Amino acid sequence: MKPVEVRDLSDDELSSKLLELKREQFNLRFQRVSGQLEKTARVKEVRRDIARIKTVQAERHTAADAAKSEG
């Protein structure tokens, strides 16, 4: 996922995508340990996508808190 794609998602979509990626990360760990992992680069992609989603969620949370304190 590109950062622009992540920013276009709603809060609910971000949460569901994060959950989906965490499940995939969990499954990839098992595949790596058992020697069944074919696309090793996918581990890095999933980890970065999770970080992107968490960053956007944190930005939105911070912006919401700032709006509350101002108004």
Q: What is the pLDDT of residues 48-59, one digit of tens each?
A: 999 999 999 999
Residue 30 burial (C-beta neighbours within 10 Å; 0-12, 13-18, 19+)? exposed
What does the pLDDT read at residue 56?
Answer: 97
Average confidence (pLDDT) over 5-31: 97
Q: What are the tokens at 22?
A: 């965490």
CB atoms within 10 A of CB 9: 15
Average confidence (pLDDT) over 64-71: 88
**Cβ-based neighbours of 24, under 8 Å, separated by 6 or more:** 46
Domain range for 14 is 3-70
CB 56 within 8 A of CB 48: no
What does the pLDDT read at residue 26?
Answer: 98
Q: What is the CATH number of the domain that holds 48?
A: 1.10.287.310
Provide the number of structural domains found in the chain: 1
